[in-house]
Amino acid sequence: SRNFFPYRDGRLHVSQVPLDRLAEEVGTPFYCYSGDALESGYRSFAAALSGLPATICYALKANSNQAVIKTFAELGAGADVVSEGELRRALAAGVPAERIVFAGVGKTAPEMAAGLDAGIMQFNVESFAELELLSQVAQQRGTTAPVAVRVNPNVDAGTLDQITTGRADSKFGIDADEARAFLMQTKSLPGIRFEGLAVHIGSQLTDVAPYRAAFQRLIGLYHELRAAGVPLRRLDLGGGIGISYKHDLQGQFEESEQRVRDYTQMVRGLVSGLDAELVFEPGRLLVGNAGLLVTRVLFVKDNGERRFVIVDAAMNDLIRPSLYDAWHEILPVAQTPEGTALHPVDVVGPVCESTDTFAKQRPLPPLREGDLLVFSSAGAYSFVMASTYNSRPLAPEVLVRGDRSAVVRARMNYDTMIGQDRLPDWLDETA
Ligand code: LLP
């Protein structure tokens, strides 16, 4: 199988580019994405859906770098956006408006207007209050808004509580029975064209059973509503397909490829003979395993019983371990000789709180100051969740393609970081 992260000459590469060379060029920490892995991931998902009337709307909340979005846009992808910022990013990267879905529980009137003016494919609406506002905004602009009603199918996705979204106790979607009653009765609103139903039950799903349950409910509702005269023609099945976080860099793609096969086989079974366009909103699946966070060991210290490896990346760069207790594989850039004994260490960042811990008691080969490490599976929900906490500038992002590399986002400079602050007149001596 393809290997986008080979060890060659004893050091880790992204395609043909050695990471130690990139670290010299751009400094650490930095994010590095394999454009080859992005393309391959997109193509294999698209191939698994071939023959279906499907639009793949990349959920760009997972990684919204222009170069990443553009890589997918050139392969024919649409976009799933959740804010005006994401809408602008998608349009700027050349995603056609008619392939953009706008999701989210809290769209503002200006965001609705921006979506309408761009001419997007659909708004995924999550409440009756939102529906009313969207109808008004559309009427003011002399148009109608294409809408998919996001229903809450009340299934448990069996993923982390923080990222499950399809249970009755979650803030997402409209209760399926209420949606049915409303649409049966209403059928239309002056500023709204009801075109579809949408569902998304959570993220990092590793089992197809909850999907099947949710999609069956959605399709049942679709049939009922069409029979009652609601002119629906599209089903948005959301995203959420999980990837492998525990792996060597070589085997990581196999698990998600198998999952995609199971998922698409299940979907094909459910939609065969169904008169509906389909939308998919994969995020993590397309980018997660395509990215690494590269960091350098600053110090190694022993405190009592424990050995701490202090690296120059921190929770502000990659918050998933602190926030979700998420596991990211940690691998040295210099290849570990076979038979090397591993010892448990805590890998921590420089931020001034204990939560800034990437791994506790992780078995790793001996490490020294200056060694380079990577956190793997850091293509999704990683850079996009970074902050400047502790006034640490946002890390740069590098994209690799074959033997070429490019900085696709520069490291934030200190002037940019401080320059947004303003002094009030009572503190401004120069005023
Ligand atoms: N569609 C909707 C409506 C969503 O809310 C999401 C993700 C997606 C699609 C894409 O899901 P994916 O295919 O990437 O699983 N920050 C968390 C993940 C939050 C996911 C939010 N919604 C993490 O780091 O694990």
Predicted local distance difference test score (pLDDT) of residue 188: 75
Predicted local distance difference test score (pLDDT) of residue 156: 73
Q: Is 125 in the pocket of ligand 1 (CB under 6 A)?
A: no
DSSP per-residue letters across 223-274 = HHHHHTT----EEE----B----SS-TTTHHHHHHHHHHHHHHHHHHHHTT-
The CATH number given to whatever domain includes residue 338 is 2.40.37.10
How far apart are the CA of 86 and the centre of ligand 1, in A?
Answer: 14
Predicted local distance difference test score (pLDDT) of residue 277: 98
Predicted local distance difference test score (pLDDT) of residue 394: 98
Q: Please report whether residue 431 resides in a domain.
A: no
Domain total in the chain: 2
CA gap 348, 354 in Å, rounded:
9
Q: Please report whether residue 427 resides in a domain.
A: no
Q: Hey, whose CA ends up nearest to atom 8 of ligand 1?
A: 239
Q: Which atom of ligand 1 is nearest to the CA of 283?
A: 14
Q: Give the mean pLDDT of 69-87.
A: 98
How far apart are the CA of 282 and the centre of ligand 1, in A?
Answer: 8
Q: Which atom of ligand 1 is nearest to the CA of 281?
A: 9
Residue 414 has pLDDT above 70, yes or no: yes
Whether 151 and 104 map to the same domain: the answer is yes
Q: Give the mean pLDDT of 295-321.
A: 97
CA gap 182, 176 in Å, rounded:
10
Q: Is 79 in the pocket of ligand 1 (CB under 6 A)?
A: no
Q: Please report whether residue 52 resides in a domain.
A: yes
Cα 130 to Cα 148, 149, 204, 286, distances in angstroms: 12, 11, 28, 30
Which tokens go with 74?
């050139």
Whether 126 and 244 map to the same domain: the answer is yes
At 145, the pLDDT band (50, 70, 90 cuts) reads: very high
Q: Give the mean pLDDT of 297-325.
A: 97
Q: Is 200 in the pocket of ligand 1 (CB under 6 A)?
A: yes
Test site for ligand 1: of 203, 318, 382, most ligand atoms within 8 A of the Cβ:
203
Residue type, 148: A
Q: Give the mean pLDDT of 185-192.
A: 86
Predicted local distance difference test score (pLDDT) of residue 174: 92
pLDDT (tens digit per residue) in 320-332: 999 999 999 999 9
Q: Give the mean pLDDT of 297-321.
A: 97
How far apart are the CA of 63 and the centre of ligand 1, in A?
Answer: 11
Radius of gyration of the chain (CA): 23
At 185, the pLDDT band (50, 70, 90 cuts) reads: confident
- Token pair 């791994």 is at which residue? 359
SS3 for 344?
strand
At 383, the pLDDT band (50, 70, 90 cuts) reads: very high
Q: Which atom of ligand 1 is nearest to the CA of 200?
A: 3
CA gap 86, 264 in Å, rounded:
27
Predicted local distance difference test score (pLDDT) of residue 134: 98
Among 171-185, 238-252, 290-304, the range of highest mean pLDDT: 290-304
Whether 209 and 327 map to the same domain: the answer is no
pLDDT (tens digit per residue) in 204-254: 999 999 999 999 999 999 999 999 999 999 999 999 999 999 887 777 788
pLDDT (tens digit per residue) in 28-62: 999 999 999 999 999 999 999 999 999 999 999 99
The CATH number given to whatever domain includes residue 47 is 3.20.20.10
Predicted local distance difference test score (pLDDT) of residue 283: 98
End residue of a domain, out of 286, 310, 326: 286
Q: Is 59 in the pocket of ligand 1 (CB under 6 A)?
A: yes
Whether 101 and 189 map to the same domain: the answer is yes
Q: Is 283 in the pocket of ligand 1 (CB under 6 A)?
A: yes
Q: Is 115 in the pocket of ligand 1 (CB under 6 A)?
A: no
Q: Which atom of ligand 1 is nearest to the CA of 103?
A: 3
Residue 164 has pLDDT above 70, yes or no: no
Q: Hey, whose CA ends up nearest to atom 6 of ligand 1?
A: 239
Higher pLDDT, 411 or 157: 411
To the query of whether residue 57 is one of the catalytic residues in this protein, the response is no
Whether 52 and 16 map to the same domain: the answer is no
CA gap 388, 410 in Å, rounded:
14
Beta-carbon contacts of 377 under 8 Å, excluding residues fewer than 6 positions away, are 243, 244, 245, 247, 252, 288, 289, 291, 328, 329
226 annotated as ligand-binding: no
Q: Is 284 in the pocket of ligand 1 (CB under 6 A)?
A: yes
Predicted local distance difference test score (pLDDT) of residue 161: 67
Q: Give the mean pLDDT of 424-428.
A: 92
Whether 274 and 316 map to the same domain: the answer is no
Residue 311 has pLDDT above 70, yes or no: yes
Predicted local distance difference test score (pLDDT) of residue 168: 67
Test site for ligand 1: of 60, 61, 375, most ligand atoms within 8 A of the Cβ:
61
Q: Give the mean pLDDT of 374-403.
A: 98
End residue of a domain, out of 238, 257, 286: 286
Residue 147 has pLDDT above 80, yes or no: yes
How far apart are the CA of 123 and the centre of ligand 1, in A?
Answer: 17
Whether 243 and 326 map to the same domain: the answer is no
Test site for ligand 1: of 280, 284, 286, most ligand atoms within 8 A of the Cβ:
284
Which tokens go with 355?
């939560």
Q: Please report whether residue 82 resides in a domain.
A: yes
Q: Which atom of ligand 1 is nearest to the CA of 160?
A: 25
Q: Give the mean pLDDT of 115-139.
A: 97
- What is the reported pTM? 0.96
Whether 282 and 300 map to the same domain: the answer is no
How far apart are the CA of 281 and the centre of ligand 1, in A?
Answer: 9
Catalytic site residue from 227, 341, 352, 431: 352
Percent of the chain clearing pLDDT 90 (strictly above) = 88
Percent of the chain clearing pLDDT 70 (strictly above) = 97
- What domain range is 328 assigned to? 7-32+289-419
Residue 1 has pLDDT above 60, yes or no: no
Cα 169 to Cα 105, 166, 347, 406, distances in angstroms: 14, 8, 36, 44
Pairing of strands 54-59, 78-81: parallel
Predicted local distance difference test score (pLDDT) of residue 251: 74
